Structure 1
């Protein structure tokens, strides 16, 4: 019988579930609910997800959670305690453990002694970067995660990826958190220039395109207007996106004041975010390396693979990799932290998505091609009829040429012109920029 480990990333915008067995079978779910909404709802969603995976909650041997949510530490402890009690009532037999930024796993009572240590644990991103870097044989990496309300950058080299201690040190000298994400509001400064506001859309109203009462434009709204996102497939289709509401918000708050079109305003938003992150990568790497030509960009999060190709091009990186489970990288990293703390459990060398179709034989047209839609890539605002592919249908060693968009349930990959992609044997999508 397989052994099951479960991790949760309690985010500001979404909550991520990851279930992994000892064969590498990976089950993933991202839900539009957080502890801001209801701990009871989270418990119910977790139990439902476990039932979808055809196992009993009592079969879970280890449960670990990371507090990426922006709440007071004492409240986070209270929410964790509440979640544990509700899950125990559903039949969970193992205690909930909380991950710290230093790669420790603590019971709730232990974490309560110094709750600041469990808040915003960036160690998940570092561990995920190390795992996939070793899997691909790539020693030099720039790890980029862009989520709903924050982004994380880290530089990993051969020296910084050898142990938990050096990974911990990397958080200080080679890691950087940024207050920007898909839900970041976009405004105009006194000079009439677009800039990211420090506030972001909360899970309640969300971006304007969520049709939940949000009126200010966000990065997600801009990406939708540019054609990068599928209005019917965002988060498994759980949140239908309303492009007319995204255009309305951009028109009112950005395009009209600047006397430009909605599409040009959206392009300026997207390009501005790309340039901002590229500048931070240059600052992060400037004192450690002369060139980034030998590096690969590992893109995670819901928005990381959307913007990663252009960011890589800006800084001179020639390869972007979007791994298995890219949309839930922090939660996946917590499982890797768990393995470091459990010498009896060996992380599988490869992970495969449960329920994913990986065709080995087919005839006729390319199976993964879903269709086409208008996408804006260039600043001249001429849309192209871009092919859209289903990541699950791409066969190992298949290749794609950009421009193209590759869609998965947790994230979308935007391939630029003069790029091509290959699905490797581990189901990582490797994109090379010519």
Structure 2
């Protein structure tokens, strides 16, 4: 019988679930509910997730949680205790182990003695980057994660230590985190340029395009207007996106004040986000003397794969890799922390998405093609009819050319012109830029 372990990332704008067994069979889910809303609702959604995978809580042998939220420490511990209590009431038998920022695991009452240690651990993203870097055989890596409210970049070189004891130094010298994400509000700076603000839409109303009462535009709204996002497939289609509401918000708060079109406003936002991240990466790598042309870029998070190719192009990086489970990288990384702390939970060298990946019984070269959509690229205000592919329908060793958009349940990959992609044997999408 398979042994299961479960992890969740309690984020600011989304909550991510990851379930894996000892064969590497991987199931993931992202929900638009946070611990700020209700611990009870999250526990209920975990129950639904396990039921979808035909797993009872009592058979899950390891339960790892990261708290990627901003709240007073006393409140965080109250939420942690309540979360564990409700899980036990729902049939869980294994205790919660909380991930610390330095790669340790604490029981709830141990965490209560040092609440700061479990707040916003960046270690999940770092561990995921290391895992996939080793899998693809690339020693020099730039890891990029763009989530709902924050972004994360880290540098991994062939001289980077793989020891958990060295993580403090890695987190201090080779990692940058900053307030920028899909739910970040768009504003106008002193130079009359649209920019992302540190404030972000909370899960309730969310971006304007969610049609839940949010009136201010966000990066998600801009990406929708640019044609990058599928209005009918956001988070498995659980949130139908309203393009007209995104346009209305951008029109009122950005386009009208600047006397430009909605599309130009959205494009300036996209370009500004990419320029900001490029600047952060150049600043990070300048102290290490890194020659980025020899690096590959690993793209994670819901918005990371949307903007990764253009960021890589500006940096001179020729390969972008979007791994399995890219949209839930922190939660996946917490299971790697578990494996690093407890050898009995070693993670297999490759993981396979449960249910629909590795399509072998298909016919025709265009099985994965879902259709076409108007997409705006770079500074061209004329849309192109861009092919849209279902990531689940691309077989290992299949190739396709850009421009193209590749859609998955938790993240979307935007490929520019003069690029091509190959799905490798481990279901990682490798994009090559010319």
What SS does structure 1 have at the residue aligned with 2:98? strand
Local SS of the residue matching 1:414: strand
Match of 1:402 in 2: 402
2:225 is matched with which residue? Answer: 225
Aligned to 1:55: 55
- Count of residue correspondences: 434
- Which residue number corresponds to residue 360 of structure 2? 360
How far apart in 1 are the matches of 2:237 and 2:392?
A: 16
- In 1, Cα distance between the equivalents of 2:71 and 2:400? 43
Give the aligned partner of residue 31 of structure 1. 31
Residue 129 of structure 2 corresponds to 129
Q: What is the correspondence of 1:225-304 to structure 2 with a 5 Å cutoff?
A: 225-304=225-304
- Structure-2 separation of matches of 1:93 and 1:290: 47
Name the SS of the counterpart of 1:271 in structure 2: helix
Q: Please give the secondary structure, in 2, of the residue aligned with 1:138.
A: coil
- Equivalent residue of 1:160, what SS? coil
Q: Find the counterpart in structure 2 of residue 380 from structure 1.
A: 380
* Aligned equivalent of 1:322: 322
Distance 1:14 1:198 in 2: 17
- Give runs of aligned pairs for residues 144-223 of structure 1, distance below 5 A: 144-223=144-223
Q: 1:55 to 1:290 in 2, by over 3 A?
A: closer
- Relative to the length of structure 1, the TM-score reads 0.99
CA contact (8 A) 1:4 1:20 kept: yes
Structure 1 position 382, deviation (Å)? 1.1
Q: Deviations over 1:280-325 (max 9, x none)?
A: 0000001112420110100000000000000000111111000000
Q: Per-residue deviation at 1:389?
A: 0.3
SS of match in other structure, 1:356: coil
* 1:347 is aligned to 2:366: no
Change (3 A) 1:420 1:48: same
SS in 1 for 2:113: coil
The alpha-carbon deviation at position 356 of structure 1 amounts to: 1.6
For 1:211 and 1:104, locate their aligned partners in 2 and report how far apart those are by CA, in whole Å.
40
Q: Measure, in 1, the Cα distance between the counterparts of 2:219 and 2:68.
A: 20
Structure 2: runs of 5+ lacking an equivalent: none
Can you give the 5+ residue segments of structure 1 that lack an aligned partner in the other structure?
Answer: none
Find the counterpart in structure 2 of residue 118 from structure 1: 118
Paired with 1:394 and 1:63, the residues of 2 have a C-alpha distance of 32
1:72 Cα deviation after fit: 1.3
What is the CA-CA distance between 1:89 and the residue it aligns to? Answer: 1.1
Q: Alpha carbon RMSD of aligned pairs, Å?
A: 1.0
Contact 1:123-1:168 within 8 A present in 2 as well: no
Segments of 4+ in structure 1 off by > 6 A? none
Show the counterpart of 1:11.
11
CA contact (8 A) 1:405 1:412 kept: yes
- Give the Å deviation of 1:361: 4.4
Cα 1:357–1:290 shift into 2, 3 Å: closer
- Tell me how far 1:168 sits from its aligned partner: 2.9
Is 1:95 aligned to residue 95 of structure 2? yes
* TM-score under structure 2 length normalisation: 0.99
Distance 2:161 2:382 in 1: 43
CA apart distance, 1:45: 0.6
Distance 1:180 1:286 in 2: 22
